[in-house]
Structure 1
Amino acid sequence: MYQTRASTQNSAAETPMPVLSLKNFTKLPQWDFEDVYNQDAPPRQTTCAQSLRNSVVDSFKKAFLPNIRLFLHKDNINMSEWNRLSHFNNPFGFIGYKYDDVMTSVKLIPKPKEPLLLPKPGGDGCVHCAVVGSAGILYGSKMGKEIDAHDYVFRMNGAVTKGYEEDVGNRTSVYVHTAHSINLSPYFFGKYGYTSAPNDEGIIYVIIPEKIHDFYWLEGLLKGERVSAGLHTNKRPRTYYGGQYNETRFYVLHQDFLRYVRNRFLKSANLNARYWAIVRPTNGAFTLFLALHVCDTVSAYGFMTEDYKKYSNYYVEKTAKTSVIFYSNHDYILEKNMWKKLHDDNILRLYQRTSSETGREKHTTPQGQAENGSKGVKT
């Protein structure tokens, strides 16, 4: 049975609980509050008749929490919350982390402006979003104009657009990343024209606090200083955002939201395996579910589809590989099946190619392929 609960920020707890070790668990631990999440007041009431929130699909209605707490900031975490979240592995919580290592940066995160997105003036009152993954299905798709016609465009990871505008568009409204992905994308995608993270004027940046390195990254970013510890020591985070970093447009996804996405939509059987602690949805999956919570209509492009073997791993690769490489930290097939189900249930529209290499389905039934469905940046 699905459960919810209100914020615990007024709860009192004076000291952090003892640090749990991942070594103590051979599979995903199940706490009696595993499926309990903080929720916020409704960030935006919608009158959009097309809104996915109006879905009558019973399974989706039962699982979907329209008011799930999306963002972490200094005002919605205290010692009680720290202790609760310390029962979950990263990025879903803080198992193995020391309080001071994480809270030094969390205490710097200002309360973000919500709702994240608003209907466009003069529009139909709906928030229409495109979420663009990086799969090879987009190469030659000529979907660029359709993507850019949405009110907002979400991208993640190595979001190369220059030279590929005809297929993937050139607008980015929301960019989702980790410290790992924003640092490694130049190395993996530099030869395809990647120079920096998208930096459209007014862009919103959203970070997934994947590991302890992300909290060190956040500290340096929020202070405007070099990273003081971890994998990215001495790097200057603000130089990675093309001059568009703005504290009022920078968001940190909440651990409850990340865990909710995993538990209710993408709970892999691999969480029972010995390597359970590294298993999590892809950055593309988290981005798509973020869009489902802040938009009324969502179209997904460049996500995994049934015929993924026809295409290259990434749209920047012009030839298909003999086989697609899957990494054990993600359950790509589970995600593929979820995108198809959400498409079939009219929750989102998934871009899918027709049998013709140059053809495509009508706008009413789009598709997609894997966000990071093979090699390169394993995020």
Structure 2
Amino acid sequence: MKRSLRSLSLPLLFLILLACLALRSAVTRCFNYQSNPEDRNIHIDATILSISSHDPADSSLQTDISDLLKASLESFDTIGGKYRTLSLWRRIGSDDSVRPRSLARIRLPIRAQAHYPPERQVLLPLFRHSLATWARYHHAQLPYSIMSELIQRIKRPIEIFNGRGDSSEPYGTCAVVGNSGILLGSNHGGLIDSHEFVIRLNNARVVGYERDVGSKTSLSFVNSNILHLCTRRVGCHCHPYGDNVPIAMYMCQPRHFLDYVVCNSSHKAPLLITDPRFDNLCAQITRYYSLKRFADLTGLSPTRWNETHDPTTFHYSSGFQAVMLAFGICKRVSVFGFGKIKGAKHHYFTNQKAELKLHDYEAEYMTYRDLIKHPEMIPFLSGFRVPPLVFYY
């Protein structure tokens, strides 16, 4: 016979209360938050906002873009015509005795297929056009409307490729699947696959992990370093989820446009590059929260943030930008495989445990917390309605 709550002893009620508090604490530690949302004074700091709007690496990026746009292209075959090396280089100064500076170099296996890789006379103009277009948007003033443009820039080409017509409606439900080791043993596979649109990160392995991570993939979201590795494979093969799964990526380095124009010639599904204004938006938000976290924890001026972070290499994670992309194309967003617990692997499919130093994951977790409870307080998102966001642990 079931006992009523009144009949329970006080010590037993106390133990139940302790267990509930422990469970709540465990969920909080999954994202390793420093405090509860109610305890933190949430406001937009004007000084930090101003600092986070500036990209310390912008001057070197502009120099790289200028050099690449003026570069010459060298193409030659090696190993009996089995491989082709593409090299972008630029001579510095008028002294012919000075060795030209190599700006980008890729070696790709050649397969017996017409128009792959593109001929040299076609490849260089394509490279320059793609890079120049990207650079023009990168230097443009950041409009708050860029989030609303993601339907047109990301969802539209995917839907046209899938033969579903051109719709301005966002997807109903989207799952963003991260790569954290906390996914192991989660049994979230069925729940993930039940979403209308599933985004996976950086070619994470699925086979053998379906029970925890699902098997459905609607979009592979990667950084351009992943694409650079793909050029080493026959036909620039970068499709762990199948040739018909679209790929979206952000450019880590402008020289990777050489990889893009090569791979785009053989890619069946859309190979999409995120708008650099969207990239800048993500960068400014993550810098803001990293600066704020530094000031809150240390009590020091945010101008001393670079004492603990390298401002020239600091960058948002692929996971953060994938979540932001989902906000622009989905009505409801579910997130899986983000966060960490003691002893869990950094990636569920590798033995890596250490985190990359160029990311401030704790600052990103603070951003997610505000996106859930206080989306109106997220800087740089004024006027954009953040859809409902749910994290699964």
TM-score by length of 1: 0.52
Secondary structure, in 3 states, of the residue corresponding to 2:155?
coil
* 1:350 and 2:391 are equivalent in the alignment: yes
Partner of 2:365: 336
More strand by share: 2
1:236-290 per-position Cα deviation (integer Å, ceiling 9, x unaligned) = xx4xxxxx533xx221112211111121355333863472111010111111111
Aligned to 1:254: 275
Q: Do the aligned partners of 1:176 and 1:205 also contact (CA within 8 Å) in 2? A: yes
Q: Give how far 1:90 is off.
A: 6.5
Alignment of 1:275-354 (within 5 A): 275-305=310-340, 308-317=341-350, 324-345=353-374, 347-352=388-393
CA distance in 2, matches of 1:185, 1:139: 27
Structure 2 residue matching 1:219: 3-state secondary structure: helix
Distance of 2:184 and 2:152 partners within structure 1:
35
The aligned counterpart of 2:78 is none
3-state secondary structure, aligned to 1:297: strand
Distance 1:217 1:337 in 2: 34
Do the aligned residues in 1 keep the contact of 2:170 with 2:330 (CA within 8 Å)? no
Taking the TM superposition and a 5 Å limit, the aligned residue runs for 1:159-170 are 159-170=204-215
Residues paired across the two proteins, number: 234
Return the alpha-carbon distance in structure 2 between the equivalents of residues 221 and 296 of structure 1. Answer: 32
Q: SS at 1:343's partner residue? A: helix
Q: Residue in 2 aligned with 1:44?
A: none
Q: Specify the alignment match of 2:57 in structure 1.
A: 89
Q: Percent identity?
A: 21
SS in 2 for 1:127: strand
- Which position in structure 2 is the counterpart of 1:105? 127
- Cα offsets for 1:200-254 (capped at 9, x unmatched): 46422112111033111112223x3xxxxxxxxxxxxx4xxxxx533xx221112
Give the direction of change, closer, same or farther, for the CA distance of 1:332–1:181 in structure 2 (3 Å limit). same
Q: 1:93 to 1:304 in 2, by over 3 A?
A: farther
Checking the alignment, whether the CA contact within 8 Å between 1:157 and 1:182 is kept in structure 2 is: no
After the TM superposition, which residues 220-239 of structure 1 pair with which residues of structure 2 at under 5 Å, given as runs? 220-222=262-264, 224=265, 238=266
Paired residues of 2:203 and 2:222 also in contact (CA < 8 A) = no
TM-score (norm 2): 0.50
Quick check: 1:128 aligned with 2:173? yes
CA contact (8 A) 1:105 1:219 kept: yes
Please tell me whether the aligned partners of residues 135 and 304 of structure 1 are also in contact (alpha carbons under 8 angstroms).
yes
**Root mean square deviation, CA, Å:** 4.0
Change beyond 3 A, Cα 1:300–1:262: same
Read off the aligned partner of 1:245 and give its amino acid letter: K
TM-fit CA distance, 1:93: 5.9
SS in 2 for 1:277: coil
1:175 aligns with: 220
SS of the counterpart of 1:160? coil
Q: What are the ranges of 5 or more consecutive residues in structure 1 without an aligned counterpart?
A: 1-57, 61-86, 188-194, 225-237, 239-243, 353-379
Distance 1:339 1:258 in 2: 17
Equivalent residue number for residue 235 of structure 1: none
Q: Distance in 1 between matches of 2:349 and 2:356?
A: 20
Q: Secondary structure at the match of 2:259?
A: helix
| Cα shift at 1:344 | 3.8
Which structure carries more helix by proportion?
A: 2
**Distance (Å, rounded) in 2 between the aligned partners of 1:215 and 1:91:** 19
Give the match for residue 142 of structure 1: 187
